[in-house]
Amino acid sequence: MASGSILVTGGAGYVGTHTVVELLDAGYDVIVMDNLHNASMESIKRVEEITGKTVATYSVDLLDKDGLRDLFKKHKIYCVMHFAGLKAVGESCQKPLMYYKNNIGGTVNLLEVMKEFGVYNMIFSSSATVYGSPKYLPIDEKHPVGGCTNPYGKTKYFIEEILTDLCTAEKEWNVVLLRYFNPVGAHISGKIGEDPQGIPNNLMPYISQVAVGRLKELTVHGNDYDTPDGTGVRDYIHVVDLAQGHVAALKRLEKGCGCKVYNLGTGKGYSVIEMAKAFEKGSGKPIPYKIAGRRTGDIASCYADAKLAQEELGWTAKLDLARMCEDLWRWQSNNPTGFRKDS
Ligand code: UFG
């Protein structure tokens, strides 16, 4: 077991909070760092309610190097799980410098401070977006990377490259790059879940806000793709499975791993219409929808070959589509306006 704490950057966010719960349940000591740009302290309070444990939380920005140093001075860190970053595809096209500065500049600061304090273990929150438009399906880890069409995706790709170069140059480093497919759902307690600001970009938060009455209807972005029903197909993975994938990766890293990369997905693809129907069933609410044109930058289908994580981490996704929808609905209906008290 790790000698020292696990520092979770972006630990108050969607995937971060669920991972903190799984880490605490697995007996790890966890420190959360989050600039609260796209998250609130309420989420950490909820994590504490779920786990019955207190979580040391620091509101520090990755661009504040002295703030980072203070944190590393105060705590003996064994490994950093790095989730912090800006993640809106559309915004990244309008404000590329902001994305490069925060995501890449912030990560370089973090790595430099880790080095200063002799911490050489990192698990990085990457994305299937690094594969760009798939050349074959299912996508395995050998699929070419780098064909990203937006600055957000490029930051994930560039950070992967930085970490890979670092592992080549300095043998002390152990790095696991986790490429997520489409995380959805929420903790079974209904206390934590995804809480997007403004109108959601992603499918499932949008659908759940239609169900709860915050949005009128779903807009289906294109029904003329080369897929069984013409709508886009993705590999949706329950966020709790995803969080458990991080614990499995940490256990692998503890044995010494150099640089490793794993897909975290289910291997199954569902269409937009299938997701809307499944959510209707899980929530008992109708999801009215209209068909519109394709969204710029979208691809027809994307799903994982998840065998490598199974073979090397002993991890597979266990929770099915029905659970994803039921858990998302529990979160959304218990918290119609997310972690905020009003809309
Ligand atoms: N979709 C709709 N209507 C919506 C939202 C989405 O029809 O209101 C469709 C999309 O066209 C797509 C599918 O639902 O076919 C999934 O869309 P998401 O936005 O939920 O997810 P993406 O696969 O587009 O995005 C994910 C991650 C991003 C990442 C991107 C690129 O959420 O962070 O993959 O790989 F950048």
What confidence tens digit (pLDDT) does each residue in 309-320 have? 999 999 999 999
Are the CB atoms for 269 and 237 separated by under 8 Å?
Answer: no
Question: Is the beta carbon of 127 within 6 A of some atom in ligand 1?
Answer: yes
Among protein residues, the one with the nearest Cα to ligand 1's atom 30 is: 129
CA distances from 253 to 19, 174, 200, 272 (A): 16, 6, 34, 36
Q: Which of the listed residues 295, 299, 301 should we mutate to test ligand 1's pocket, taking the one with most ligand atoms within 8 A of CB?
A: 295
Give the atom of ligand 1 at the shortest distance from the alpha carbon of 272. Answer: 14
Residue type (1 letter), 66: D
Residue 224 main-chain phi, psi, to 5 deg: -120, 25
Q: 17 alpha carbon to ligand 1 midpoint, in Å?
A: 22
Number of C-beta neighbours around residue 343 at 10 A: 7
Q: Which secondary-structure segment (H or E) carries 82?
A: strand 77-82
Residues ≥6 apart with Cβ < 8 Å to 260: 175, 176, 177, 249, 252, 253, 312
Q: 200 alpha carbon to ligand 1 midpoint, in Å?
A: 10
Compute the C-alpha angle 343/271/87, nearest 5°.
45
Q: With the C-alpha atoms ordered 15, 18, 24, 30, is the resulting torsion angle positive or negative?
A: positive
Per-position b or e across 252-269, b if 16+ CB within 10 A of its CB? bbeeebebbbbbbbbbbb
Question: Is the beta carbon of 44 within 6 A of some atom in ligand 1?
Answer: no
**DSSP, res 101:** I
Residue with tokens 């809480």: 195
Residues ≥6 apart with Cβ < 8 Å to 67: 58, 60, 61
Residue with tokens 């949706």: 236
Residues in the chain predicted with pLDDT less than 50, given as ranges, are: 343
Side-chain-side CA neighbours of 210 within 13 Å: the count stands at 21
Rounded CA-CA distance 204/218 in Å is 10
Rounded CA-CA distance 46/41 in Å is 9
pLDDT on residue 3:
86
Question: Is the beta carbon of 301 within 6 A of some atom in ligand 1?
Answer: no
pLDDT on residue 297:
87
174-180/121-127 β-pairing: parallel
pLDDT on residue 149:
85
Residue 82 main-chain phi, psi, to 5 deg: -105, 100
The 3-state DSSP composition of the chain as helix, strand, coil percent (nearest 5) reads 40, 15, 40
Question: Is the beta carbon of 206 within 6 A of some atom in ligand 1?
Answer: yes
Rounded CA-CA distance 16/193 in Å is 10
For residue 21, what are its two tokens? 């719960």
Question: Is the beta carbon of 153 within 6 A of some atom in ligand 1?
Answer: yes
pLDDT on residue 303:
98
For residue 238, what are its two tokens? 């329950």
Among protein residues, the one with the nearest Cα to ligand 1's atom 11 is: 221
User: For residue 96, which of 153, 157, 156, 151 has the smallest C-alpha distance?
Assistant: 151
Strand ranges across the sheet with 301-302: 270-271, 233-234, 301-302
